[in-house]
Amino acid sequence: MNHTIQCLLAERALLPQGWRHNVLLQWDTSGLLTGVTPDSKPGSDIPSAAGPVLPGMPNLHSHAFQRAMAGLTEYLGNPQDSFWSWRELMYRFAAQLTPETLQAVATQLYIEMAKAGYTSVCEFHYIHHAAQGQYYANPAELSGRLIAAAQTAGIGLTLLPVLYQHSGFGGRPPLPEQARFISSTDWMLNLLAHLRRDHPQHAGLRFGVAPHSLRAVAPATLDIVRQQLHAADPSAPIHIHIAEQQKEVSDCLAQTGARPVRWLLDNQPVDERWCLVHATHMQAGETLDLARSGAIAGICPTTEANLGDGIFDGVNYLAAGGRWGIGSDSHISVCAREELRLFEYSQRLRDQRRNALASTATPAVADRLYLDAVAGGAQASARPIAGLAHGQRADFLVLDAQHPNLLQRQDDQLLAGLVFCQHGETPIRDVYAGGKCIIADRQHAAQDTALADYGKALKQLLA
């Protein structure tokens, strides 16, 4: 008989308030948790989890197509190789995409995400048009491919269509290689209306908007999209790239007299609905004020390291109560554990100390990192995925109790075994999203088809 289980008993589970024992998880057919009850008694009709249970991790920043070029730009192509020369290669790659290859790459990626502990993704999606910028008959041609990929993988999706209009501060005209990204404000608002009409939103699907950056969207346009978005959907999320590179900071200063994060905080009503992606280069006052705003800092440690961005000041931002989450961005790595580890390690390397992001309230640094990133990722996703609590989505991971890195560990040592130790296969054994088991014993039902399609897509893209 093929029936879906609606409950699971976990000997240990990480709730928002910390580890609890004999936790009975119950969920309804819409995939939302209806009960999270510690100290429950095992019953013969209640299935037991094969190991410790964690909330699924939201991935708050992804450009899915970049998965297919991961590891293909690691050579000195230019004596001054930088973020900006990487971007030229990325643009050349983006020019090759078709609707079919985008869907194949995204499906492979989202299955990889699920295996790596991400039960949900925010897709910062900016390729909307055909190769020379011609509009597709269906404005949601490419957006629809990402929605389909997330459905195949079974992960939750917050789709953020990107508004992109200029090549630099001061309204500079776009470059020819940016043609596929460029849309009028009306086109974007129409796309959003289209998406909302054809794909009703639910706990596993949400729409927001992403002005690409202060480089790509002028101040007056930022006001219009924000107002229109919130007129239609008052709690919809807004994501923006900001202050990732020094050149962006100096260009912004030259144009506006303010640094990017300062400019945004002073000129937009930045609040809980905002996610500032990267925010790498901030002065102390910007760090404090961003923390006070309630917005999320979207930190993407492996991509920021790969692109030579700089080090986010996690120590002061977290000390000020700043909210944050993690994203795999360019997908040079797709592994929630590695993002958390590198975030902590970047602080250790800079400050020559240990356990830099732990607090006296949560001395186990991996627990602090994991719980903060779930809460912040949920806020940025604007969906109920903030961990194992009543009313949240049943997005969770079952660890392998027999994995060597988890053996004989006390509650407060367990996550460190997951985040800081890197030996052998992943300890993540089963993954549930919206109450459905999408990874069983480290396998996804669609993985073979997805890999075959990905291989075909690569052959075409790299030809």
Residues with catalytic annotation? 278, 329
Contacted entry of ligand NGQ, Zn ion, none for residue 303, CB cut-off 5 to 8 Å set by kind: ligand NGQ
Q: For Zn ion, what does the binding mask look like between residues 320 and 359, x meaning CB under 5 A?
A: ---------x------------------------------
* Residue with smaller CB distance to ligand NGQ, 127 or 364: 127
* Residue 10, helix vs strand vs coil: strand
d(CA 211, CA 189): 12
Query: What value, to the nearest 5°, has the Cα angle with vertex 191 and ends 125 and 165?
Result: 60
Q: Give, for 345, the enclosing helix (H) or strand (E).
A: helix 336-351
CB 416 within 8 A of CB 410: no
Identify any residues that bridge with 59 across adjacent strands, giving them in sequence order.
Answer: 121
Closest separation in Å from C-beta 143 to Zn ion: 17
Contacted entry of ligand NGQ, Zn ion, none for residue 330, CB cut-off 5 to 8 Å set by kind: ligand NGQ
Helices 141-153, 99-115: axis angle to 10 degrees equals 30
Among 166, 239, 241, 337, binds ligand NGQ (CB under 6 A): 241
Contacted entry of ligand NGQ, Zn ion, none for residue 281, CB cut-off 5 to 8 Å set by kind: none
* Residue with smaller CB distance to ligand NGQ, 123 or 244: 244
Q: Give, for 241, the enclosing helix (H) or strand (E).
A: strand 238-242
For the chain, report the end-to-end CA distance as a whole number of angstroms: 47
> For ligand NGQ, which residue has the nearest CB?
63
Contacted entry of Zn ion, ligand NGQ, none for residue 73, CB cut-off 5 to 8 Å set by kind: none
Q: Give, for 83, the enclosing helix (H) or strand (E).
A: helix 83-94
Could you say whether residue 244 binds ligand NGQ (CB under 6 A)?
yes
CB neighbours (10 Å) of residue 332? 19
Go through the chain and tell me how many residues it has: 463
Among 8, 54, 62, 63, binds ligand NGQ (CB under 6 A): 63
Could you say whether residue 259 binds ligand NGQ (CB under 6 A)?
no
Question: Sign (positive/negative) of CA torsion 448, 454, 459, 460?
Answer: positive
Site for ligand NGQ in 296-325 (CB under 6 A): 303, 307
Contacted entry of Zn ion, ligand NGQ, none for residue 64, CB cut-off 5 to 8 Å set by kind: none
Could you say whether residue 87 binds ligand NGQ (CB under 6 A)?
yes
- Contacting positions for ligand NGQ (CB under 6 A): 63, 87, 213, 241, 244, 303, 307, 329-330
- Contacting positions for Zn ion (CB under 5 A): 329
